[in-house]
Chains A and B, each alone.
Chain A
Amino acid sequence: AQSVAQPEDQVNVAEGNPLTVKCTYSVSGNPYLFWYVQYPNRGLQFLLKYITGDNLVKGSYGFEAEFNKSQTSFHLKKPSALVSDSALYFCAVRDNPTGGFKTIFGAGTRLFVKA
């Protein structure tokens, strides 16, 4: 069965510092991995995805994520955090090809960036 874990409920970082939001996954096949961000009173917005190829994936708003197969991780990173990055971040996984129609979301990590 597919599963995804975000071990931190909340991450606090100062503006200008690098940030990392952690995600680990479990699938039976090859994973499709996604990061989404949700701002207050908004839907989820797609940030980036890993399908295959280069382990370092670059996405929207300066975010990137590193796929690590041996550690089954897909951590979200940004070199320099902005106050406007404060939001709720969801890691998500689909099992390829056995996952069917479902995307499994992690519990979410709330990111606070202090000025």
Chain B
Amino acid sequence: DTEVTQTPKHLVMGMTNKKSLKCEQHMGHRAMYWYKQKAKKPPELMFVYSYEKLSINESVPSRFSPECPNSSLLNLHLHALQPEDSALYLCASSQVPEGLSNQPQHFGDGTRLSIL
């Protein structure tokens, strides 16, 4: 079992809906990440939180809104998504922000999102 828990595992939503993806880790990691992964492609970085503050936004459209309420939780709020946003959304965490660390990232199993 993975140590990073993502919910829900699957999500189907219309383009006008608002939904949220959730991620939780209890390893004491202070860096958390959101990635988008299309089928058979590598993960694409979306956001990085370092010590609960947004450190990187990879020019992600505003219809994706991240939130880090505390050091264990990471949310991704979704609104007015497009069909091309359908993908596997992966959450990851690492011990410290990776620029200062040689530690690997720990990934959740992702939320498979389908936009109708």
Instruction: List the interface of chain A (C-beta within 8 A of B).
Output: 32, 34, 36, 41-46, 49, 51, 88, 90, 94, 96-97, 99-103, 105-108, 110
- Specify which chain B residues have a CB less than 8 angstroms from the CB of A46 in the assembled complex: 104-106
CA distance A91 to B20 in the complex (A): 30
CA distance A115 to B103 in the complex (A): 35
Contact A105–B42 (Cβ < 8 Å): yes
Which one of B11-19, B69-77, B79-87, B107-115 is at the A interface? Answer: B107-115
Contact B106–A101 (Cβ < 8 Å): no
Q: A49-B102, A99-B98, A102-B98 are in contact. List 5 more A-B contacts (CB 8 A).
A: A43-B90, A51-B102, A94-B99, A100-B98, A101-B97
* Min C-beta distance of B68 to chain A, whole Å: 14
Contact A102–B41 (Cβ < 8 Å): no
B102 closest partner in A (C-beta): A51
Mark interface residues in B36-79 (1 if CB within 8 Å of A CB, else 0): 00001111010010100001100000000000000000000000
How big is chain B's contact interface, by range? 20 to 34
CA distance A108 to B41 in the complex (A): 7
Contact A101–B109 (Cβ < 8 Å): no
A51 closest partner in B (C-beta): B102
* Min C-beta distance of B50 to chain A, whole Å: 7
24 contacts between A and B (CB under 8 A): A32-B102, A36-B104, A36-B107, A42-B2, A43-B4, A43-B108, A44-B90, A44-B92, A46-B106, A49-B104, A51-B102, A90-B43, A94-B99, A94-B102, A99-B99, A101-B48, A101-B50, A101-B55, A101-B97, A101-B98, A102-B98, A102-B99, A105-B42, A106-B42
- Specify which chain A residues have a CB less than 8 angstroms from the CB of B31 in the assembled complex: 101
Contact B105–A103 (Cβ < 8 Å): yes
Contact A100–B107 (Cβ < 8 Å): no
Contact A94–B98 (Cβ < 8 Å): yes
Q: Which 10 A-B pairs have the closest CB atoms?
A: A43-B107, A105-B42, A46-B104, A100-B99, A51-B102, A44-B107, A43-B109, A101-B48, A101-B99, A43-B108
